[in-house]
Amino acid sequence: MNNQDKTISNKLLKSAHTHMPMGVADSYRYWGEEKTVFVKSTQGCKITDCDDHEFVDFRLAYGPIILGYRDTRVDSEVIKTITECGTISGFSTALDSDVVSLMKDLCPQIEKVRFANSGTEAVLGAVRTARGYTNRNKIVVVEGGFHGLYDEMMWKSDVDNWDNEQQEAPEIAAFGIGIPESSREHLETVPLNDLDALKQVFERVGEDIAAIVIEPIMGNCGSIAATQEYMQALRDMCDQSQTLLIMDEVKTGFRVAKGGVQELYGVYADLTTFAKAMGNGYPVAAFGGKAAIMDKIRFGKDGVTHGGTYTANMIALSAAKATLTLIRDTDALETVNTTGKAIQERLSRVFSHYNIPHQFAGPDSMFGIHFGEFVPQNYRDWKQTDSVLYTEFAFNLINNGVMLEPDSREPWFICEAHNTVDLDWLESMAMSAMAEALETVALEPI
């Protein structure tokens, strides 16, 4: 591993500390004083930092890039819209229905849609609509799922600090301070793929459950996936109790299949949230579902309120229209999946070379890597994987020109432009990175 010169990045971070908390605009972008990344340019599947180090990027801004950075097919449509129409007007445009029509072509469960600017906003809108429609309060979430940064969804099972030998279950903890205890009053948490836990929460508070919110493939938990049996049972229980099923497809939507995760399972939600790949990096999001539920959004004391100044702006929707058209009409996702599978095969060769037990989880377009003997079935299982070795391996890859999130709870994201990656080079970099990782964690390379 070569130590990279970070002179300019370190200087930028030092300056940024005088302007922003932690020196960054998003807390998750802070990787420490010596490792925080400042990007100068992006293109295709590559990013270049401010010290002119180039990386093949498998982080892809946490997943929005599905075609490639600065894809001219998308960017040209955005530029055309800005030139001919502008960026925002505070009124409706023809783009609104154009994009919804594309979404409905791809996702048969969608009848009506409202737009948002982020995954957080989309989830908030869907949850509020579910409560308004059912006239109930409680929301059930699955451990390991991530549903945005608003107070109610910022309570998590603290698996990091869980002593699985002394404690039956992880404690439920806030992401940090500033989140009032009252915000978890109506929130219930269950482990993934645990039907007994699901039955128990329905037995205990089922009459007041407005919705269950789930990422069937967990984008912040190494792509650990629900089983087919679990998803069907969840759908059946929701139907029996008149509870709405909300599938959070902020990461999986228009990425794992043209119709998202619901196409893979053949199990459909009442409401679905979208963002990320929907606009190939432009900030656009949406939530939608059955017309009878969505039509609860209306004026008046018996209606759900939804809106936003920047909602359905022309930049976002022109990007979504171009991106969704390409996903619908080309083999872009087939290329993504083929490339992701080939990359996993090369990585598996590296891990096998060093006799490291390893498992891949999730689809080829956003796969997780877990060092261990079995594929984790829930967030608690992730605790049993060798995440320390993974983090060492990841930082070594970064120093060798392969960018990824150095936390095994984050998947490797693949975009169409990754089909240009030299797989021999990638395998060689992974070999070097793993050799040094094993040395660091005091394991003997084979």
Q: What is the CATH number of the domain that holds 39?
A: 3.90.1150.10
3-state secondary structure of 213: strand
Residue 61 has pLDDT above 60, yes or no: yes
Burial group, residue 310, by CB count within 10 angstroms (0-12, 13-18, 19+): middle
d(CA 104, CA 154): 31
Alpha carbon dihedral 14, 16, 20, 26, in 10-degree steps, equals -100
Query: Does residue 306 share a domain with residue 384?
Result: no
Residue 1 has pLDDT above 60, yes or no: no
Query: Does residue 209 share a domain with residue 119?
Result: yes
Is 446 within the bounds of a domain? no
Query: Does residue 390 share a domain with residue 337?
Result: yes
Residue 415 has pLDDT above 80, yes or no: yes
Average pLDDT, integer, range 426-433: 98
d(CA 16, CA 10): 10
- Give the closest residue to 76 by CA, choosing from 326, 429, 437: 326
Residue 181: CB atoms within 10 Å: 8
| Domain end among 303, 329, 355 | 329
Query: Does residue 346 share a domain with residue 311?
Result: no
Amino acid at residue number 261: V
Query: Does residue 191 share a domain with residue 76?
Result: yes
Task: Provide the domain limits for residue 427.
Answer: 7-69+331-440
Number of helices and strands (H, E) in the chain?
13, 16
- pLDDT cut 90: percent of the chain above it: 96
Average pLDDT, integer, range 41-49: 98
Is 410 within the bounds of a domain? yes
Is 445 within the bounds of a domain? no
pLDDT at 445: 45
Query: Does residue 352 share a domain with residue 293?
Result: no
d(CA 363, CA 381): 19
* Greatest Cα pair distance in the chain: 69
Is 165 within the bounds of a domain? yes
Residue 446 has pLDDT above 60, yes or no: no
Contacts of residue 266, Cβ cutoff 8 Å, sequence gap at least 6: none
Query: Does residue 192 share a domain with residue 91?
Result: yes
Residues 358-388: pLDDT tens digits? 999 999 999 999 999 999 999 999 999 999 9
Count of structural domains, the chain: 2
Query: Does residue 155 share a domain with residue 283?
Result: yes
Pull the structure tokens for residue 355: 């006799």
Residue 203: CB atoms within 10 Å: 8
pLDDT at 165: 82
pLDDT at 3: 62
pLDDT at 4: 79
Residues 124-156: pLDDT tens digits? 999 999 999 999 999 999 999 999 999 999 999
Residue 27 has pLDDT above 50, yes or no: yes
Is 2 within the bounds of a domain? no
Query: Does residue 347 share a domain with residue 229?
Result: no
Average pLDDT, integer, range 353-357: 97
Is 89 within the bounds of a domain? yes
pLDDT at 443: 53
d(CA 83, CA 78): 9
Residues forming a β-bridge with 304? 297
H or E segment at 440? Answer: helix 423-440
Residues 175-219: pLDDT tens digits? 999 999 999 999 999 999 999 999 999 999 999 999 999 999 999
| Domain end among 289, 314, 329 | 329
Query: Does residue 361 share a domain with residue 280?
Result: no
Query: Does residue 321 share a domain with residue 289?
Result: yes
Alpha carbon dihedral 270, 275, 277, 278, in 10-degree steps, equals 80
- Give the closest residue to 418 by CA, choosing from 339, 346, 323, 330: 339
Pull the structure tokens for residue 14: 């030092």
d(CA 397, CA 417): 19
pLDDT at 2: 46
How many angstroms separate the Cα of 19 from the Cα of each of 22, 220, 350? 9, 29, 43
H or E segment at 245? Answer: strand 244-249
Average pLDDT, integer, range 103-128: 98
Q: Write down the pTM of the prediction.
A: 0.96
Is 267 within the bounds of a domain? yes
| Domain end among 329, 352, 383 | 329
How many angstroms separate the Cα of 245 from the Cα of each of 234, 287, 374? 8, 13, 29
Q: What is the CATH number of the domain that holds 219?
A: 3.40.640.10
d(CA 269, CA 283): 24
- CB 31, CB 57: distance < 8 Å: no
Is 1 within the bounds of a domain? no
Average pLDDT, integer, range 109-118: 98
d(CA 66, CA 210): 33
Burial group, residue 105, by CB count within 10 angstroms (0-12, 13-18, 19+): middle
Query: Does residue 248 share a domain with residue 178?
Result: yes
Degrees to nearest 5, angle at CA 105 with 100 and 109: 85
